[in-house]
A and B are shown apart, each in its own frame.
Chain A
């Protein structure tokens, strides 16, 4: 036996509550972060991701307290992201009980931050979060793919999916690994909240182009979506929010289903 595939519930937190959106917009309330974290940890989640989607300066202290509270009720690995722009931000998160820090906009604006973090905390603490969206307007030096006869490339977006960067997601993933990232949290903006399944092309290409663990995110609506992404892309972990928050499926039920489909999971 070797590593199992990891199943990771995600808590998008805004104003102290877990929320869930569609295509990164139109959010609704999904519960208390501490309660949900404990429940998922007890149910056998392999890891937890906590994304502070407000991440404004005033809320830094609130988030610190919340990270501490969540960390004190779980006994599984815990990644915290959102608004990490400096070493100090990362240190704050790690010293308050997170095992890894997720960096998105902060890494695009200052790629060296990945290297600095890796040197101080070790590569395993550094998760580069990449939000990617299909762009059908082709340009030079991008990796072009096609789906249903239409050609496109994957563009990196920052500021919670609000701002395009012109950067190719596959190239950025490779560069982030070189700079010091130990893991990639890869979210498809096109698929986020659709419950339509993960973006297989995006995930497969990033897995193929890098040699660090990749977490697929965005689009999971049912356990079979996880089966599909594991089988089709070889990805290391699958992240989901809605299917767990709204009690559509418990973590353990999902993992039992995966086991039945020959996906190696921890039960």
Chain B
């Protein structure tokens, strides 16, 4: 059985994510510090809260840096805000990001309703580990006001159209990010959670 951890910034619903991981067969711990030994096969950065408080909650409770904790082995799935934290900085706050993927996070264009909230479909750009078995055009549930702007488009495996092309799935080494919420995206979301757990088992 695969054992993973969800990092809790203390700001919202992580119950649904925990639940969807458990339904997919994982054992799940909720952690709030990186100072204890990492005996997990995978880590999840959930998609609830705001950029600065979330980043601060990592630094305030941990002497150990995020990169030290996960190294280049532990697969990490960042969801929504969790994915935004992978980058260098965000227009949502002033804190530095985790900087595991080059690029920044910027506001969605004001020509559209913000937040981008609801079901939108994926345009798959290239095969990715999280996207195994996911059909092009699948509907997933988004709710966000910011979007990633990676330094290199190579990390983008799927996009979604919301006036502009929004990076929907990014992958780099052991870091996987979804701008949408797989734990809220019905069957196709479950599939992506299962794909991530497969990576954790490797």
Contacts and interface: CB of A to CB of B under 8 A. Distances in A.
Given A75-B20, A120-B53, A212 B113 contact: yes
Contact of A75 (B48, B119, B183): B183
A236 interface: yes
Interface in A65-113: 68, 71-72, 75-78, 94-99
Question: Chain B's interface: helix, strand, loop or mixed, by majority?
Answer: mixed
Interface of B: 11-13, 15-16, 19-20, 48-50, 53, 81, 113-121, 137, 139, 141, 143-145, 161-163, 181, 183-187, 189-190
Contacts of A1: 120-121, 137, 161
Contact of B145 (A4, A95, A99, A124): A124
15 contacts: A1-B121, A3-B162, A71-B13, A71-B19, A76-B184, A120-B49, A121-B49, A122-B48, A124-B117, A124-B143, A124-B144, A182-B115, A211-B113, A211-B114, A212-B113
Interface in A26-56: 41, 44, 46
Given A2-B162, A2-B163, A266-B139, A123 B145 contact: yes
B48 to A, nearest CB: 7
Nearest to A72: B19
Interface of A: 1-4, 6, 41, 44, 46, 68, 71-72, 75-78, 94-99, 119-125, 182-183, 211-213, 236-237, 266
A183 B117 contact: yes
A6 B121 contact: no
Best-surrounded residue of B20, B49, B115, B117 (most CB of chain A within 10 A): B117
A94 B13 contact: yes
A179 to B, nearest CB: 15
Given A75-B189, A77-B143, A121-B49, A68 B15 contact: yes
A155 to B, nearest CB: 26
Given A1-B161, A75-B184, A124-B144, A97 B119 contact: no
Contact of A3 (B50, B114, B119): B119
A75 B190 contact: yes
